[in-house]
Amino acid sequence: MKIGFIGTGNMGGPMAANVLAGGHELLVYDSQATATEALEASGAVRCDNLASLASGSEVVFLSLPGPSEVTAVAAQILPQMSSGQTLVDMSTNSPSVVKDIARDARARDVVFLDAPVSGGVRGAKKGTLAIMVGGDASHYSRLEPLFKCMGENIFHVGDVGAGNVAKLVNNMLAFSTMMANAEALVLGAKAGVDPNVLWNVVRTSSGSSMTWEGGARAILRDRLAPTFTVDLACKDIGLATDLANELDVDLTMVPTAERLLKDFQANGYAKEDVLATVKALEEAAGVVVRGTWDE
Ligand code: NAD
């Protein structure tokens, strides 16, 4: 198929590479020219503008930072699209924003699906992402082979917007536990327990989670290069609390994690990895847990 991919950053770059490796023709566009270089070297064609990508693709995928970028790009490409074409937003987005875009797409007879992903840059590179799709079931089935180029666990969650509901619920859990994990490591170390021993104890006990297995280990290994920034985490957890407010659901724990993340964002961590915020806790407690991994 002729596929267009807009937004080829940390996630979109390797996701698009897997679509290309799946034998599809690939047109790419990113506002930063360097973001498409590796894909061009592998055979993708960079478009000079959004309009030529939109008119030349059967399916257009978006992997953009968030609601404002997706809204702006959709407004530019939908006028170039028509019946028979499909637009899939794989960004983490607001359920109400994707519903608005779906309505604009329908007015042009363009199919729209929301399909946010989980699994990080590692999962994007390995093609093992979880993909949660919202939209019409028949269009989901038609696009499943394309999703399978990028992911291993593909879910049809419900109508448009449902993909992002599942994603936001997942991420509010993930970030709340990541914040608690960092506090746990620092508290244990301050109380004199070797962080490696603590990691192993929790890993095999009731406090464990995927974020402990992967995230807490990355902290101990001091492998904290930015792959998921505090800016993105604030966006996601903010979208989850917005959804709760919209639906009159009272949350208590998640807004605490949100407040913490926003403090880090305002205090120099915005472009750092979300796990790197452990540095602030180490500093306040006067202990270091990073770099203590026993290889
Ligand atoms: P990123 O910032 O690395 O990539 C976004 C890309 O979009 C950049 O290359 C940027 O230049 C481009 N871009 C921004 N505005 C644009 C525009 N108007 N037109 C064209 N290109 C534009 O971000 P990412 O980490 O790849 O995240 C992408 C999406 O995936 C986000 O919605 C994020 O929440 C979600 N996500 C990220 C991860 C992760 O681990 N990084 C995991 C799951 C989901």
The tens digit of pLDDT for each residue in 29-44 reads: 999 999 999 999 999 9
Give me the percent of the chain exceeding a pLDDT of 90: 99
Average pLDDT, the chain: 97
Catalytic pick among 2, 99, 148, 167 = 167
Residue 228 alpha carbon to ligand 1 centre in Å: 10
Structure tokens of 132? 């949660």
Structure tokens of 179? 């914040």
Dist CA 91 CA 230 (whole Å): 16
pLDDT at 295: 73
Looking at the predicted structure, is the pLDDT value of residue 221 above 90?
yes
Model pLDDT for residues 247-294, shown as the tens digit of each residue: 999 999 999 999 999 999 999 999 999 999 999 999 999 999 999 998
Task: Pick the atom of ligand 1 nearest to 121's CA.
Answer: 40
pLDDT at 294: 86
103 pLDDT band, cuts 50/70/90, is very high
Catalogue the long-range contacts made by 239-243 (C-beta closer than 8 Å, 24 or more residues apart).
239/66, 239/67, 239/92, 239/93, 239/94, 239/164, 239/168, 240/168, 240/169, 240/171, 240/172, 241/172, 242/94, 243/94, 243/95, 243/165, 243/168
List domains and CATH numbers for the chain: 2-159 (3.40.50.720), 165-285 (1.10.1040.10)
**Are 241 and 251 spatial neighbours (Cβ–Cβ below 8 Å)?**
yes
pTM for this structure? 0.95
Q: What share of the chain is helix, strand, coil (3-state, %, to 5)?
A: 55, 15, 30
Residue ranges around ligand 1 (CB below 6 Å): 6-12, 29-32, 35, 63-66, 69, 72-73, 91-92, 117-118, 120-121, 227-228, 232, 236
Q: Whose CA is closest to 210, among 241, 261, 255, 170?
A: 170
Mutate to test the pocket of ligand 1, among 15, 18, 30, 90 (most ligand atoms within 8 A of CB): 30
Amino acid at 241: T
Average pLDDT over residues 238-251: 98
Query: Active-site residue 167, yes or no?
Result: yes
